[in-house]
Structure 1
């Protein structure tokens, strides 16, 4: 199974087949608007701008499972991200990333790239997954890892 085998609802409610990103490097992030890490939206947008024409895409998945830090609805989330951080990368509808209702994409990502000590659960907002061009999961990064710190790995995967 590959990342490209999944679908997700975009922020406007349309179904997106992730196979449309085949051949691209993906940075998939669970996001939130009211989190200490929320300023990472700016770094994510910077990475997206740097690599979007070179074959890499950032995908943001808002999640309200950590301290209720994403209470807004989809329209508000989109407006907030655009107004405050100039976000132009694709945003998706809110998802659960842990528990029985976790989105199948995140179930897959967690299984393929477990966290510290092999735990699968995502610990907080802005956990990042880097996906190779073939749809396989390259690596999981902690919320503390800034988007800019991933530039070297993204360049490496684009060169493969």
Structure 2
């Protein structure tokens, strides 16, 4: 059984394997990158390392994305790096990036246990390449994000954009 960190983006609930989470913190200062993909919020200094900050709201909701109200605090999920993954994560086939990556989310929910019988494939009407499936936990439906697919899409887009100019 794997545990999942769950969080909100707008009113929707998402989850990723807890092994991929190094830390959850309040939003810190992010320096925007002019002319960059809008899904990349910018760069931040994370304990002396320059780290990309991915705005999940812009990744998952392509249109009609508005900034959170001024009083609503955003949070950051700092993802674990490949060399920081425990052996249990590697045994489960999980992979991480070599460099730190930060996900900008609206709010954290809770850690839940993922029971095998509670997993379902993504619904047919969900045309989102980053969703691996759906998990039911009590009354909550949680969309499970594929962090590798998300990062691969961002990197591919940036490489295509940079080579096309």
- TM-score of the two chains, using structure 2 as the length reference: 0.28
Quick one: higher RCO (CA 8 Å, sep 6+), 1 or 2? Answer: 1
Structure with greater proportional strand content: 2
> Radius of gyration: which is bigger?
2
- TM-score of the two chains, using structure 1 as the length reference: 0.28
